[in-house]
Amino acid sequence: MIGNRITSRMADGVRIPGTWRHAFICNGGTYFLTDLFIYADGLVDCWELVTLDEFEKKLRSGWVATSLPDGGAVSAHRLGAWTFGEPDTWLTPELLLAEVRDTVDELNGRPDSTGRCLAAVEVFLAERTEEHRAAARAAYLAIPETVRHYALGDMDRKDRPLQALVTGPGGRFPGWPDERVSQEEYDEALTYFEERGRWLAEAPSRVPADGAVDSFAPAVKLSHSYPQRALEHPDKRSLRNDYPAPITLDDVTYPSVAHAYWALSVADPEARAAVATAETGAKAHTLAAKATRREGWEQTRTAVMARLLRAKYAQHSGLGAVLLATGDASLLYDDADSGFWGDNGGRGRNWTGRLLELVRSELLADQAGIGQDLSGGACSCSGQDSSMRAWGGEI
């Protein structure tokens, strides 16, 4: 639950709203009291920015701790240190992950597990079949146990009417195997929800006058990978610049975007040719690092990279489809060698990710038939633009 714990981070000039909660991180055998920062685009900061899938792995590995050992060493960084004495925790990896997923939905204004349960209850109340009751009960059980009490927003009766309704007369209360729902309590629950429905119908609308707030698609992280050959079924690894997808520019063919980028950065023609034919993108980088850069390279490199990425996805339609499949998600590109090109856990500028989002938008414009309406009729993703031929047609 978000409450008043509101924060945000900036990503590519966009403010991503977030919140935080306390947690323990186990590092080197010591349990550190810290905060998990959860953002609307599905990233979680647990001493590094990770996706929800990566966060689940952190939970399973015990890095984000949900079990606390008796006698375990604890630190609140420079505030204090102590040891656990008969610790009691109700969290499990599954429960904490469910709470975090709910938080991401809440930050986006989407129905969380509680909202989905109440929607299933409305379906049951409209048509009271056992099938609909079973669906409502399953939706109730999908709410994290730690927040079920708050599902109705009723601090007096908690979620008791909800439990009775989804269980039905004669059934056992969830979590209370020795207690059954009486007909009287079930009838009271029906009355409760009928009155609640009338109250909600009469409540004033809270929809913003200027439209709903935009939601944030889950971010996609393009982590380091070093494929030596093209994949039979390309996935997001093919969006890496060193992925072996040859591109041809001005009658020169390069094995990958990385080869082209590093070759074009080199001033000496002989060194440039050696970089362009290096065995891998990583080796092209190594060779280029030993050579002299072209004059003005630092000021023009983003334009060069933009053209190279346009060429890659224009000349490889299958890879263009992989890029389009990322939807409108933020693309976070890891680059251990450059905080300029990589996001690097939120510490870098992520220019590769930002340019990939630009090319994705241009591909969508072409699909929609509006690419020809841009830039005086020149399709921005044709891979044949002449905007970067200032260096004697070499790029």
In terms of domains, do 363 and 275 share one? Answer: yes
In terms of domains, do 322 and 238 share one? Answer: yes
Residue 388 pLDDT: 44
In terms of domains, do 101 and 182 share one? Answer: no
Determine, yes or no, domain membership for 390: no
Mean pLDDT of 319-336: 93
Determine, yes or no, domain membership for 389: no
Reported as a single tens digit per residue, the pLDDT across 3-60 is: 678 899 888 778 899 999 999 999 999 999 999 999 999 999 999 999 999 999 999 9
Reported as a single tens digit per residue, the pLDDT across 295-309 is: 999 999 999 999 999
At 390, is the pLDDT very low, low, confident or very high (cuts 50, 70, 90)? Answer: very low
Is the predicted pLDDT of residue 373 greater than 80, yes or no?
no
Select from 172, 202, 232 the last residue of a domain. 202
Determine, yes or no, domain membership for 395: no
Range of the domain at 309: 220-377
Determine, yes or no, domain membership for 356: yes
Select from 174, 202, 230 the last residue of a domain. 202
Residue 2 pLDDT: 62
Could you tell me the pTM of the whole model?
0.73
Q: What is the distance between the alpha carbons of residues 18 and 38, in angstroms, rounded to a whole number?
A: 5
What one-character DSSP code corresponds to residue 113? Answer: H
In terms of domains, do 232 and 370 share one? Answer: yes
In terms of domains, do 263 and 365 share one? Answer: yes
Determine, yes or no, domain membership for 213: no
Mean pLDDT of 156-181: 90
In terms of domains, do 237 and 330 share one? Answer: yes
Strands (DSSP E) contained in the chain are 7-11, 14-27, 30-39, 44-45, 49-50, 64-65, 73-75, 81-83, 172-173, 176-180, 220-222, 247-249, 252-254, 331-333
Determine, yes or no, domain membership for 393: no
In terms of domains, do 51 and 185 share one? Answer: no
In terms of domains, do 131 and 95 share one? Answer: no
Residue 395 pLDDT: 44
In terms of domains, do 141 and 254 share one? Answer: no
In terms of domains, do 363 and 253 share one? Answer: yes
Domain count, the chain: 3
Nearest to 45 by CA among 300, 316, 345: 345
Output the domain CATH number for residue 354: 1.10.357.40
Cα-only R_g, the chain: 27
State how far the alpha carbon of 273 is from the alpha carbons of 228, 267, 306, 314, 394, in Å.
21, 11, 21, 24, 12
In terms of domains, do 291 and 318 share one? Answer: yes
In terms of domains, do 73 and 136 share one? Answer: no
User: Of 9-18, 56-65, 312-321, where does mean pLDDT reach its minimum?
Assistant: 9-18
Determine, yes or no, domain membership for 227: yes
Q: What is the distance between the alpha carbons of residues 393 and 340, in angstroms, rounded to a whole number?
A: 26
Structure tokens at 252: 């020169």
Select from 107, 127, 156 the last residue of a domain. 107
